[in-house]
Amino acid sequence: MRWRAMEPGDLDGVAAVARVAFPDHPEDRACFAERLALCPSLCWVLDAGGVVAGYLIAYPWPLGAVPPLNALLGSLPAHADAHYLHDLALLPAARGGGHAAAGLALLFARVATPIALVSVNESAAFWRGHGFAVVDRPDLRAKLFSYGDAARYMVREPARG
Ligand SMILES: CC(C)(COP(=O)(O)OP(=O)(O)OC[C@H]1O[C@@H](n2cnc3c(N)ncnc32)[C@H](O)[C@@H]1OP(=O)(O)O)[C@@H](O)C(=O)NCCC(=O)NCCS
């Protein structure tokens, strides 16, 4: 299995992984297609012999703002002070082998701003292990609620030096 740049032909596979990984937060294939079109340099898939076993999607986005779930963005901000990690997901059979960490390493190597995300699926501990910390933003509570009770806004500051 290896991470490689996402291509339009991967989108059915990406949507299939998302359905398995995020059963409570379904997003249309069009959302993934749009992110790939807007920011191809921060979209990757975990390729398991031609089958999409995982994906990672990120894009420039202002700190303190959460994109709406299952909605098109239209465009990306011209001058964003951060990036948003939209999804990192692996098929169950691909988990536990360090592939998530390897995918994150690709992102961390390419991005020098803070990276924000909304943790779901009780994944806050996983994210803490990768340098993210929960940031309590009262202004985001209503938006986070649409991601479920346990959703948390988390931010990873860039490494210094
Ligand atoms: C989160 C996810 C990408 C992690 O993938 P993975 O293959 O288990 O990750 P890795 O093998 O790189 O890392 C495993 C490590 O993370 C830990 N970990 C994985 N998921 C965790 C979780 N939900 N909570 C706490 N720790 C977790 C493991 O215990 C392991 O720790 P260790 O290295 O000390 O043994 C995967 O579980 C997944 O796709 N989940 C469904 C989608 C999801 O919830 N994505 C994040 C939502 S924002």
* Strand pairing report for 83-90 and 115-119: parallel
Whether residue 161 is contained in a domain is answered as no
Whether residue 39 is contained in a domain is answered as yes
Span 75-122, pLDDT tens digits: 999 889 999 999 999 999 999 999 999 999 999 999 999 999 999 989
Residue 90 CA: nearest ligand 1 atom is: 39
Q: What is the pLDDT of residue 101?
A: 98
In the predicted structure, residue 160 carries a pLDDT above the cut 80: no
Q: What is the pLDDT of residue 161?
A: 59
Q: Are 5 and 40 in contact (CB under 8 A)?
A: yes
Structural domain for 61, as ranges: 2-156
CA dist 159 and 107 (Å) reads: 13
Mean pLDDT of 147-157: 94
SS3 51: strand
CATH of the domain at 9: 3.40.630.30
Whether residue 133 is contained in a domain is answered as yes
Q: What is the pLDDT of residue 148?
A: 87
Mean pLDDT of 118-139: 95
**How many structural domains comprise the chain?**
1
Nearest CA to ligand 1 atom 20: 126
Whether residue 33 is contained in a domain is answered as yes
Calculate what percentage of the chain has a pLDDT beyond 70.
99
- The DSSP output letter for 94 is G
Span 28-56, pLDDT tens digits: 999 999 999 999 999 999 999 999 999 99
Whether residue 23 is contained in a domain is answered as yes
Interacting residues of 94 by C-beta distance below 8 A, sequence separation 6+: 1, 46, 48, 53, 54
Q: In the structure, which protein residues have their CB atom closer than 6 angstroms to any atom of ligand 1?
A: 21, 88-90, 95-101, 117, 119-123, 125-126, 129
Indicate the angle between helix axes 29-38 and 11-21, nearest 10 degrees: 120
Q: What is the pLDDT of residue 118?
A: 97
Whether residue 51 is contained in a domain is answered as yes
